[in-house]
Structure 1
Amino acid sequence: MTQKQRLIYSVLIALAVLAIMLGLSWLQNTGIITEKQFQYIAMGVAVVVVVINGFMRRKVKP
């Protein structure tokens, strides 16, 4: 994986996280999920993103 590919994937991941958070916010505002559920899902998404970022960093070739 090159630096350019990592940058593209990072932007895509950021957009995906933004979409997920907006979706979760909408679900919470409509009463489908509670504040606690929102927090747990948001923490899970954050952990997954950190793991993916670490994996991508190891795959970048100098």
Structure 2
Amino acid sequence: MTQKQRLKYSILIAVAVLAIMLGLTWLQTHNVITEQVYKYIAIGVALAVVVLNGILRRKVRP
């Protein structure tokens, strides 16, 4: 994986996380999910992004 590919994936991940968080916020404001569920899902998303970022960083070739 090149630096350019990693940048593309990083931007894609950032947009996906933004969409997920906005969706969760919408669900919470419409009383579909509770604040506790929102927190657990948000923590899960954050952990997934950290792991994915670590994987992408290791696959970059100079």
**Short-chain TM bin:** over 0.9
Counterpart in 2 of 1:10? 10
Distance 2:22 2:33 in 1: 13
Instruction: Calculate percent identity across the aligned residue pairs.
Output: 69
TM-score (norm 2): 0.99
Residues 4-54 of structure 1, C-alpha deviations (whole Å, 9 max, x = no match): 000000000000000000000000000000001000000000000000000
Q: CA RMSD in A?
A: 0.3
Q: Distance in 2 between matches of 1:61 and 1:11?
A: 19
Q: What is the rounded CA distance, in whole Å, between the counterparts of 1:2 and 1:49 in structure 2?
A: 19
Amino acid at match of 1:27: L
Moved over 6 A (4+): none
Q: What is the count of residue pairs matched by the alignment?
A: 62
**Map of 2:44 onto structure 1:** 44
The answer for the alignment partner of 2:23 in structure 1 is: 23
* Structure 1 alignment gaps of length 5 or more: none
